[in-house]
Structure formats: C-alpha cells, structure tokens
Amino acid sequence: MSHADLSERDTQRVAFAESWIAQDPDPETRAELAALVEAVRAGDAAAASDLADRFDTRLAFGTAGLRGEIAAGPNRMNRVLVAQAAAGLAAYLLEHAEPGETPSVVIGYDGRKNSDVFARDSAELMAGAGVRAILLPRLLPTPVLAFAVRHFDASAGVMVTASHNPPNDNGYKVYLGGENGGSQIVAPADAEIAAHILAVAGGATVDALPRGAFETADEEVVDAYVAATAAVATTDVSGRVQPATVYTAMHGVGWETFARVLDAAGFETPAIVDEQIAPDAAFPTVSFPNPEEPGAMDLSFAHARAANAELIIANDPDADRLAIAIPDASAADGYRRLSGNEVGLVFGWRAAELAVAAAGGDLAPEGTLACSIVSSPGLEAIADAFGLEFRGTLTGFKWISRAPGMIFGFEEALGYLVNPETVRDKDGISAAIAFLDLASRLKYEGRTVADHLDDLVLRFGCFASSQISIRVTDLSQIGAVMARLREEPPSEVGGIGVDRIEDLADGFGDLPPADVLRIVFDDGSRVMVRPSGTEPKLKVYLDTAATAGTVTERRAAAQTALEALEAGMRALVV
C-alpha cells in the first residue's frame, strides 16, 4: 500500500507521527515510531490501530500527574511528552510567582527506565524557562523528594516514578510548596497546569525549547531526611528488643536510604532479600512489582522461613508504600501479609497514644486521624475512643495530607503518613521505622504483632475489609456499571438490607465531587464503588464490623458478613 492509499485519518496520523519523530531527542523511541509508521504504510492493520491509540489522544495530566507505558507518541511516556510537561509546569509556576520572585522546583527520580533522563530533561527545560531547578543528587525514594520540597521551601516538586506499576511504565508526580505545604496537586492546579502543557504541545516543538543550567543538591538534603525519619522511632533503645526481620526493596530504591535510617535510629540491620535489594528497572523476580499482588512477596517469605523471621518489611519500588507480613501457621507459606487497613489501624492506635502522651497523659489529646473514604472505618472508631478528630477524604494522599490538624493518615493501598510535619505524602520508610519500633517494644514486653492485633480487636472491634477489582479493556464498561447502580439502586446485597446510597458525584458533606457511590447497610456495613484513578479498573471496597463477643467471635461475625457482601456485590458488578 502506498502512502496515497491510506485513509485520510491514517494519513493525518502518519503526518503527526513524522512531526513527532522530528522533535524526539530519544533515538530508541524515534526508531520505534519510524518502524510503526512504515508498517502502517504497508497496510498493517494492527500497526494502524497501535498508531491510532498513541496519537488520537494523549496521557491526561491530572491530580496523579502523568503515568503510562514508555513508548513514542502523546499517549505514552517519553521525552517529548515529559518536555512538554516540564515546560507547561514552568509556565504555571512563573504565572503564579509573586512579582520579582523566581519560582523554584526540586526534581527527583527513581530507578525505573528513563527516570534519570526524564528528570534531567525537566531540570534543563525548567531552568531554561526561568525557574530555579534543583535536581536531587542521585536516584532516591519518592519520600525524599516530598521531604525536599519542604526542606528547600520550593515552589514545586517533581518525582519521576511509576511507583509500583508494571516494569515498562513511568510517571511524573507533581507537588506544590507554599500554601500547599508540599502536598501533591489537586484541583484547580491540575487543570491549570494541564492547560499550560497543552499550550506548549500546540506551539513550538520541544527541540526548540530553551534549556538552561540547573543545580544539583548535595547530600545534605538526604542527611536531613535520614535524621528526621530516624526520630519517628519513639521508644528508647533500652525499651525494645528487635524481632528477627527480613527486608525487601522489591527491586526499587528504598534500601540505601532505609539502611541509613535504621542505623541512625539504633536498629540492627535486618536480613535482606538479596535478589531484590538493588534497583533494577526490569524487576526480574516479580511479574508485577507491587507488594499487594499475589506472589510478589514469595521471595520474602522464603527468606523469612530460612531466617525464622518474626517480621517482614517490604517497600514498593519507589518506597512510598509499606507492606508488613508476620508468621501465621495457617498460611501456606507460613507468613501472612497484613492488609493495608490492619496496618493503618495499628498506626492509628499508635498515633492516638502518642497524642495522649504529648497532652501530658490525660485523655484530652489534640489532632486528627485521617484516611481515604475507601479505607477502614475502624480509624474513626479509634479517633472517637481517644477524643480525637477524624477526617475522611477522597482517595489519594493529595487529599489525606491536607486534612486539618492531621497527626496520622493512611489509605488501604499500603500508604501511611506517620510524620506529617516532615513529609506531606505517604512514606514507606518512616512507616517501616514506626512499625519496627512498635514491634520491638512489643517483643520487649513479651508480646507479638499478632497479640497486638488481638488487643486492637478487643478494644475497638473487628473491622473486616475486602476488595473487588475488575480490570476492563473498554473504559465504557466501568461507566455502564456506575450508571446502572445509580439508575437501579439495590435494596439489598447478599441478603443484607440497604439503608441508603450516597452519591458523591455532586460532592457530599465536605467532600468535593467524585465518581463514587457509598452504600450503607442496615447492619452498619459499607461498600464503596469507584473507578480507579490510575488503572482501567472498577474498584469495590467492602467493610464490615463486629463489636460483641470474644476476639474469635468478633472476627467470625465480621468475616461472615463480609463474605455475604462480597458474593452479593460480585453478582451486581461482575
């Protein structure tokens, strides 16, 4: 097929692709796209479909920044798209700067493919636009970047990472300083930045954008993060006995920084999962580098069995999330990973007790416990028991971190903020220190983490949680399910009567509008239904509670109700 035989739309796409190739500084993506264009010209239908997917739309810049597969085209992550994002963010910062002020940005990057390249491109382009650009000295965890925004009093921060996404993904996470306190962006800033990015994309090609000299931060910023994070351990060394611990970095960047914090806090070096301890963009031992995924912690379990470990600590690749596993004789591998809600409630209890101690030991503490609305309602029960404020927010630490007076915040997806005065984002390293500190104090007292979980159930109730995650290839399927639930709301699910359905589409209480349905049941159980913000998935979050009887009876009652709800919701949405 000659070029003239192409459809008008394919001809337009080929022309767009050729202009993209002309401005792309990356020889790998240039070659990849050139080969795709030739295949389209040769009549390859699959190639034409691929080209359409890459060029008919672009990765949307939103409150999660950018995230996607590394490849050529505006609907992929690549140097052209990142250059446009950097120039657009620079324009936004310059627009919002006070007269005579030079805005600043600090930029970090992890060990994923092209992270360092995207970071340096961003630093050069933002410097060229007139923004003071500071690049962190080497690949580092996301929490160090979040810390650095506040440390340097920067106008903004950029972290190049795709967190725990598949190996060939990368992303671009944006933080704002000043009155935003180093939190991730929220509306309306996301839309304003997106508009500037689109203006750049519609103007000069990226090879014509000016580049300038940027600064490279020295190790002082890392030292400051290490010192601040080591202070999260509140138990005196004499009052703790460290349990035998195994640590994995999941092929990410967490270990070097975590090891320094451990040493500064007076902990012993744990046994490490050697195969996963060094950064490796290929993630060779896991099919999906997310501690929540089945099989991702198998190597950790094997090392723990060999070491007779009492605790497993895992970070995701950019170390902003934390997974914890403990011995469990009933588990096939001998260990059980605690759910994000279990760890979150343990941390909430710890934060409440620290608040009481800070108030002089009486039950009149100050502060707010915060979590996303899809996380366990148990945190509110803990806040009520201690006389603390509680705040439920939309999903994501961009919201949780903004809760007024927050002393602890979490989300069920393994994200915890235990030191909000230091970092305004989830931090898997400070959370790991906090959990190890707690586990060491428990061992000193002759108790285990499992004992502590039993105590939590007995004091506050058993809060059981589960999740249904439905991946789709056509996003309209998600919209169809949400529309059906709104138009034909169920009166019961799994034999449990529905008390009310709260639609957050137009906002609810102090929550901004969100595509979320909250189903509240007659027995106090709760289901949340929402589209994922980062993946093509519909997510259903289920929560039940039991507060009567023994620990065993409470767990059995909550689990029975949970199983009924899950079966009923699967029948509704799958």
- Catalytic positions, please? 163
CA dihedral 33, 166, 108, 73 (to 10 degrees): 20
Token pair belonging to 286: 């896991």
How many Cα neighbours within 13 Å face the side chain of 245? 25
Distance between CA 257 and CA 151 in Å, rounded?
17
Distance between CA 451 and CA 428 in Å, rounded?
23
Strand duo 322-327 + 335-337: pairing: antiparallel
Written as one letter, the residue type at 44 is: D
DSSP assignment letter at 77: B
Distance between CA 415 and CA 563 in Å, rounded?
25
DSSP assignment letter at 178: G
Label residues 481-504 b or e (16+ Cβ within 10 Å = b).
Answer: bbeebeeeebeebbebebeeeebb
Q: How far lies 111's CA from each of 160, 318, 344, 478, in Å? A: 9, 8, 27, 33
Name the nearest CA neighbour of 425 among 161, 138, 188.
161
- Omega of the bond prior to 188 within 30 degrees of 0, cis? yes
Strand duo 526-531 + 322-327: pairing: unpaired
Q: CB–CB of 532/542 below 8 Å?
A: no
* Angle, vertex CA 413, rays to CA 410 and CA 416, nearest 5: 30
Q: CB–CB of 306/346 below 8 Å?
A: no
Token pair belonging to 418: 């235990």
Task: Burial-class residue 202 by CB neighbours within 10 Å (0-12, 13-18, 19+).
Answer: exposed
